[in-house]
Structure 1
C-alpha cells in the first residue's frame, strides 16, 4: 500500500477550502460505494463520475482528490483486507465520530446507486441485500449517548460491521482485477 494517505482532517480542510459542500466522510463513502459497485473512473475524473456538485469554479487541481482515489482503490483491492472507512480519529468526540459514520454510510449508498444505475437489487445475493439494508438503517440513524465505554464499544462494533460489509459487497459487485502477466482474474469472494 502507498505510504502517503490523506487524513480525514486534511480531506475535510480541503473540502472547506474548495467549498465543495460535502463532508469528508460522505465523500469517502461515496467514492468507496462507487468503486465497490464496479464504477469505472480514474484518479482525475472521479469527482465528475460521482456528480460532485461543488461550489467552486474551475477544475479540481488539488492533490487530495487523486490521493484519496488511489488510497481508496488500494484499500479495496488489498489482499489482506485492510479497508477502513475514512473517519475522524479517536481524538474526536464520540458523537462526531458516530455522525461521521452515518454520513459515510449515506455516501456509500449513493455511490453504489451511481455505479449500479438501473441494476436491480434482486440481482444481489441475499447476504448483499441484507448488508445494503443494514447500511440504510445506519445511514438513517440518530444515536443517543449514555455510557462512554459502552457507546465506544458499540461504535467500534458497528464500524467493524461496516468494514466487513464493504469488503463482502466489493467481492460480489466489483469485477475482479486482472493479475499482471497471465491475464487470469483473481477472485474477490470472501465466503
Structure 2
C-alpha cells in the first residue's frame, strides 16, 4: 500500500453477519473471513465473487460494490499485501466471553484451512516454517472453545491470535509474494 492510501478497515462482525444472513450463507463471520484469507493467502483471485469461489457454490450472489463482504475482501487483500504487518482477524470484540472469542478464532482457522486448500492445492510451495505453521493452524481448527477462564487464559488467547495472524502472513508470503517475486525476476 502506498503512503497516500489509508489502510482499509475491516467491516465489523455485526455488519458481516447481517450480510451473511441477507445472502443466506451458512457460515459465521469469523469463519468466512478465515476462508477469504486462506483463499487469498493460497493464491486465490481477489475478485468480488469470492464467496461463491470460497464456499464452492456458484449460486451465491456476487456481493454488491461497497457491501460489507466487498469491503471485507478489499481490506483483507490490502492488509495481506501491505508490508507493515497490519493484518487483522475478524473476531468478536474483547467484551465477548472467552468461549465466544476462542470459538470464533477456531472457526476462523477452520475457514482458513478450507480456503487455503482450495487456492493452494495439495502441494503448495511452502517453507519449513510455513509447513509447521499450517499444521499448527490445523490443530487450532480442531480445538474446542473453553467455557470459562482466567487472566492466564485471556493472555493465551491473545498469543494464539497473534500466532494465527503471523502464520497467515507467512503462508501468504510463501504462496503469493514469493511467486510474484519470481515472476518479476523472470
TM norm structure 1: 0.82
Equivalent positions of 1:168-187 (< 5 A) are 168-175=170-177
Residues 146-182 of structure 1 deviation map (CA, whole Å, 9 limit, x = unaligned) = 5421111110010011111111111111145979xxx
Equivalent positions of 1:85-96 (< 5 A) are 85-96=89-100
Aligned length: 178
Report the counterpart of residue 29 of structure 1 in structure 2: 34
* RMSD (CA atoms): 2.5
Gaps of 5+ in 1: 186-191
TM norm structure 2: 0.84
Contact 1:20–1:53 (8 Å) recurs in 2: no
Which of 19, 22, 25 does residue 24 from structure 2 map onto?
19
Gaps of 5+ in 2: 1-5
Q: Does residue 1:51 correspond to 2:71, yes or no?
A: no
Which of 9, 13, 18 does residue 8 from structure 1 map onto?
13
Q: Which has the higher helix share?
A: 2
Report the counterpart of residue 75 of structure 1 in structure 2: 79
Q: How far off its partner does 1:99 sit?
A: 0.2
Report the counterpart of residue 38 of structure 1 in structure 2: 43
Which of 61, 65, 71 does residue 64 from structure 2 map onto?
61
Residues 129-157 of structure 1 deviation map (CA, whole Å, 9 limit, x = unaligned) = 11010000000001335542111111001
